[in-house]
Amino acid sequence: MSAADAVRDRLDELPDIGLVAGFLAGIWAIMLVLALAVGGTAWPNLAAGFIGSVTVLIGGYAILALALNLQWGYTGLFNIGVAGFMAVGAYTTAILTAPTDPAAGAVAGLGLPLWVGLLGGMLMAAVIGGLAALPALRLKADYLAIVTVAFSEVIRLTVNWSGLAEFSLFGRTLGTGGATGISFESANDVAGSLVNGVGAPVAAAFQSVGVSAPNLANLTYGLMLMAVVGASYWVFARLTNSPFGRVLKAIREDETVTQSLGKDTRLFKIKTFMIGCALMGLAGVLFRGQAGYISPSQFRPTITFYVFAALIIGGSGSNTGSILGAATFSGLLFYLPARIGENVPLGTRAPSNIVEAVAALGSLDPFPLVAYTVGNVSTLRFVLIGVVLIYIIQNQPEGLLGHRNEPAASVDLDRSRADIGGESDE
Amino acid sequence: MSDSAETQRQTAAVDSESIEDPLLEVDGLRKQFGGVVAVDGASFAVGEGSLTGLIGPNGAGKSTTFNLITGIHEPTGGRVTFDGQEITGLPPYTLANRGLVRTFQIARELSDMTVLENVMLAPDDQVGESAIRSVLPGLRDDVIADEEAVRDRAWETLDFFEIDHLAHENAGNLSGGQRKLLEMARVLMTDPEMVLLDEPLAGVNPTLEEKLLERIHELRREQGLTFLLVEHDMDVIMNNCEHIIVMHQGSVLAEGDAEAIKSDERVLEAYLGGEV
C-alpha cells in the first residue's frame, strides 16, 4: 500500500503532459515486447501493426472520454447515448462527403470535401444534442439516462431503416445506406496520402525493415488522432479551468444552490451537452469511420458503456484522467489481451472447455486452465474489464486521477501577495 | 377560532404597513402542496437595511415562505415585491442577479469543490462564464483579468469570515460551523442587497455564533445590507432583531419589536400550545 502511495506521489509530481506521454510510451513498449516475443523476424511489421492499432483505439476512446467527462464528469449529466451522437456525426459526415457517382450498389452523397464533412458532422451532432437536451435537461439524472439511451437507439434504428437508405432531395439522390452502410472519403486515405507524399522518405525507411504500407498508414493515422486528442484536450482544459467550468462543477454538486447563486443552470447544461456531443460526433467519424465506411451496427450502445468504463477507470472530473482511462481501458484491457490470445502458442494440451480446464486443477495441473484462459481471452477480457471496474469502484472510486484536486479557475488561486507571488498560470 | 384568526391577520396587516421604506414586501402569499396548505396568506414587509427576524413553531411555514420568496417553489397565490418590482415566481438566478439571495437551513456546500472554488463561483456575470471567451486565446486575457479580481475578493471574503486557512480544502471536509461560514461568505460574493438566512446559527457553537452575528451587524453597518433571519433561538432573535415577524400555521400571527412580541399572548399560546 505504501509502495503504491509512493508511486502515486511520484506520478502526481509529473506534469500532465509527461504523465500521458509516459503512459502511452509504456503501452507502446508493451506492444513492442509482445511483437518481439511472438513475431520472429517479422517483428517490425507486427510491432507497427500493434502500435498503430492501439494508438487509433486509444485516440478514439480518449476523444470520447474527454467529451463524456465534460458532460458527466464535470456537469453530472448522465448521457448514456454516446453511441447515438457518434452516429449523428458520422452519418452527417458520410452523407456530406460520399461521392456523387458511387460504385454500383453504393449510396450517393453530396461529394463535399472531407473537412466540410467533419465540420458539418460536429455541427449536426451539436444541434441534435441540443435538441435532445431541451426536454431531457428538465429531468433528473436517472431519467436523463433513460431518455438518452433511448435516443441513441432511435438514431441507430433510423439510419438502419430501409426507408432512408436512398431518397431524393432537391433533385439529388442521397441516403444512409440502411443496414448495408455508407462509404465516403476515408480519413485513413489522408494518412495514406501523407505516407506516400510528404512522408515518403520516412516511409521508405520503415518499409525497408518490413513494415507494410497499410500498417504504416494506420500508425500515421493513430498519430493524427493523437493530435486531435491533443487539440481537444487543450480546448477542454481551458473550458473547464475557468468560471465556466466552475459553474459546471457546481451544477454537478448541487443545482439548486447554483441557481440560488445567480446562475441560469439550464443554459450551461445545454451548452455543455452541445459541446460534448459535437466532439462525440467527431469521434464517431474519425474512429468508427476510419476506413471510410460506416454501418448502423457500429453504433450499438455497448460503445457507450465502454466509454463510461474508460472514464471511471481514469477518474471522472479530470481531463488528464479521461485520457489515461481511455488508454488503460482500450490499450491494456481491451486490445492487449486479444492480441496475446491470438499470438501466444498454446501447444496441444489446451482443453476445449472450462470444465476440463478446472478439472485438471484437481490433479494439481494448472496448465490447462492457463491455456484455456489464454486461448479464450478475447471473450474473457470482458470478465477482466468487469473485475477491474469492480475493483476500482470498491477501492478507488475516484479512478486513477480523480483523487487530484483540480480547482476550476483560470488563474493560480494562491493569494496574490508579493511574498507568495500570484502569477497566473497562463 | 375563525373570528379571532381573522382579527389577528388584520392586526398583522396593519402592523406591516407601519414599516417605512420596505425593501421586500410579501402580500397574501399562499402555497398549497396537494391538500396541505403550507403558507396561507402570509403578508409582511422587511425594511431596507434592517435585521428582521422570522420566527414561529415548527411547521409554521417559515422555510416554505423562504422558498416562495426566492423562487425555489412557485406560489399558489399572492405577490412578492422586491425593491419596488414584482418578483413573484421569478427563478432563483434572476433574483440572485437582482440582489436577493439566500442561505439554506442545512448548509449546502459544494462538497467536491474547494472552499475557494465555492466562493469564487458566486459573483454575477463573470467574463469567463462564457464558454467561447474562456477558450479563445485573445478573449481569454479578459477572463484572466476578471479571475484575478474575483480571486482577490474571494480571499478578502474568506479573511472576513476567518476561514482563509481552509481555502484549498474540499468544502466537504469542513465542520458544520465552518460550512455555515462558507455559506455566508459565498452569498456575500454575489454582492447582494438582501440576504435571507435560513437558520444560520443552528448547530453552531456559542463562540462561532457570536462571530457570525458580529459579521451580520458589521455588514449592515458598513454595506447597508438587509437581512431576514429565520432562527429558533429566541434569545438571538430578541437581542439582535429590531423587527420580528411571528408565523403560525402558514400566516403571520404577530409583528413588532422584541418587547411587543414577548408580551403578545397569541405568540405565547402558539409556542406553548394553546388552541390549535
CA atoms within 13 A on the CB side of A237: 18
**Is B105 at the interface with chain A, CB within 8 A?**
no
A277: nearest Cα among A59, A70, A117: A70
State the Cα–Cα distance between residues B270 and B276, nearest whole angstrom.
Answer: 8
From the list A239, A246, A416, the residue facing B117 with the nearest CB is A246
**Is B111 at the interface with chain A, CB within 8 A?**
yes
Residues in chain A: 426
Q: What is the pLDDT of residue A277?
A: 96
B165: Cβ contacts below 8 Å, ≥ 6 apart: none
CATH number for the segment(s) B2-108+191-272:
3.40.50.300
- Per residue in A283-326, pLDDT (tens digit) is 999 999 888 899 999 999 999 999 999 999 998 889 999 999 99
Ramachandran area for residue A50 (φ above 0: left; ψ -120 to 50: alpha; else beta): alpha
Spell out the domains of chain A, with CATH numbers in brackets.
Answer: 14-344+376-395 (1.10.3470)
Most confident of A168-182, A205-219, A407-421, B35-49: B35-49
- Per residue in A351-377, pLDDT (tens digit) is 777 787 777 777 777 777 888 877 778
For residue B114, the 8-state DSSP code is B
- Are the C-beta atoms of A280 and A85 separated by less than 8 Å? yes
State the Cα–Cα distance between residues A422 and A412, nearest whole angstrom.
Answer: 6
Residue A244 amino acid letter: F
- Per residue in A135-192, pLDDT (tens digit) is 767 777 778 888 899 999 999 999 998 878 777 777 777 788 888 889 888 888 888 8
- Per residue in B76-103, pLDDT (tens digit) is 999 999 999 999 989 999 999 999 999 9
- Are the C-beta atoms of B143 and B127 separated by less than 8 Å? yes
The pLDDT confidence band at residue A421, using thresholds 50, 70 and 90, is very low
B131 and A244: CB-CB below 8 Å?
yes
Q: Chain A residues with CB inside 8 Å of B110's CB?
A: 249-250, 253-254, 257-258
Q: Which three cell numbers stand for residue A41?
A: 523476424
Domain ranges for chain B: 2-108+191-272, 110-173
A contact set with B (CB within 8 A): 235, 238-239, 241-247, 249-250, 252-254, 256-265, 271, 275, 317, 405, 407-411, 413, 415-416, 422, 424, 426
Q: Which three cell numbers stand for residue A275?
A: 459541446
For residue A102, the 8-state DSSP code is P
A257: nearest Cα among B268, B225, B108, B67: B108
Which parts of chain B sit beneath pLDDT 50? 1-16, 276
CA atoms within 13 A on the CB side of A359: 7
A212: Cβ contacts below 8 Å, ≥ 6 apart: A45, A48, A49
Query: Does ipTM surpass 0.90 in this model?
Result: no
Q: What is the pLDDT of residue A257?
A: 93
The more confidently predicted of residues A418 and A227 is A227
Q: With residue B176 as reference, give the H or E element that holds it.
A: helix B176-188
> What angle (nearest 5°) sits at the alpha carbon of residue B157, between those of residues B155 and B162?
90
Beta strands in A175-329 (DSSP E): 182-183, 293-294
- Are the C-beta atoms of A68 and A307 separated by less than 8 Å? yes
From the list A241, A244, A416, the residue facing B130 with the nearest CB is A244
pTM of the model: 0.88
Axis-axis angle for helices A16-39, A43-68 (nearest 10): 150
Q: Chain B residues with CB inside 8 Å of A252's CB?
A: 112
pLDDT over 70 at A418, yes or no: no
- Are the C-beta atoms of A85 and A151 separated by less than 8 Å? no
